[in-house]
Amino acid sequence: MKLYKVLRRTDSKLLSPFQDYEYEQDKEYICENLDPDLSNDCSHGLYATGIDGIIYSFRNLPEYEVWEVEVGGRSVEIDQFKRRYERIKLIRQVSHEEVKELALAEEKKVGYKLAEALFPVNPLLVKRTGCSVTDEEIELLRKWASVGASVGASVGASVGDSVWASVRASVRASVWASVWASVWASVGASVGDSVWASVRASVGDSVWAYISSLFPNITKWKYIDHPEGENPFQPAITLWHKGFVPSFDGKTWRLHAGEKAEIVWSGEIR
C-alpha cells in the first residue's frame, strides 16, 4: 500500500521527526514488536499516513521532506494521523509542488485548506504594491483592533481538537517564529521590555486570525457575536494577505511589512 512519511534531513541523514530513527531509500524496515493495541497512539511500529495525515509532523522548513513509502504486514490504524505498520520502504521523495497538489485534492474530504496549512502564507514575504499605507488598510486595522482580543479562544474552540493542534503547530513553526522574531527585532528597542508581552500577544492574535481563514467551512465562531457565514477576524486576514502584521504595545498600533518587519505605519486607533 502506498502512503507518505515525513522525514527530517540532518547532516545528510533522513531521520523520523520525533524519534530520530534513521531511514534509507529502497531499504525495507521491519518492526519485530508491532504494538497491536489501538489505545496506544504512540508505540512500537513504523509510521506513515495518507496525505491528509502529514500535517501532524510536516513543517514548511528546509529540513523537512515528504517521502512516498510502501507499507505492508500487520497494521494498526488509529486515525488519519496515527497509522503504524510492520513493514515500510522509502520509494521516492515527493516534491513540495506535488505535496500541494495532493493536499488540494484532499481538501473537500478533510474540510479545511490542507495545502495552505502545510505551506502557510508568510505576510513578511508578500510583495506589496506601493509603498504607502492606504486609508483602507488603516480602516482594516481599526476594525481588527475592536475584535482581536477574542481571537485565540474563539478559533481554538471553534475548530476543535481533531485538527486544531496539528494546524496550529504547522503555522506556528513555519510562520509564527520567524514573524515574531522579525517584529521584535524591528520594534523591541523602541517599546522596551515593559510592554513586550502586549506586542507579542498582538502578533499572536494575527496568527490565530490567519489560522481561522484555513477553515472556511466554519460559519459561526464561538465567543464572539457576528453574522453567520462571515469571519469576524477577516480584517486581520486581509492585512496578512496584503503583507502587513499589526502589533500593539498597549497604546500605539503599528503595521509591519517586508522581510525585516519594518514599521510602515504607527498611531493610535480610536
User: CB atoms < 10 A from the CB of 37, how many?
Assistant: 10
Interhelix angle 196-212/234-242, nearest 10 degrees: 90
Query: Residue 191 pLDDT more than 70?
Result: no
- Fill in the amino acid letter for 32: E
Which residue stretches of the chain are H helix? 96-110, 114-118, 135-147, 151-159, 161-171, 177-191, 196-212, 234-242
- The band of 160, judged by pLDDT with boundaries at 50, 70 and 90, is confident
Q: pLDDT tens, 68-117?
A: 999 999 999 999 999 999 999 999 999 999 999 999 999 999 999 999 99
Closest CA to 80 of 44, 36, 111, 101: 111
The C-alpha atoms of residue 14 and residue 157 are separated, in whole angstroms, by 36
Burial 61-71 (b: 16+ CB within 10 A, else e): eeebbbbbbeb
Query: Residue 37 pLDDT more than 70?
Result: yes
The C-alpha atoms of residue 229 and residue 239 are separated, in whole angstroms, by 20
Contact (CB, 8 A) for 233 and 212: yes
53-57, 182-186, 191-195, 243-247: the lowest-pLDDT one: 191-195
Interhelix angle 234-242/135-147, nearest 10 degrees: 140
pTM of the shown model: 0.93
Query: What single string gives the DSSP state of each residue in 49-76?
Result: B-GGGGGGT--SSTTEEEEEEEEEEEEE
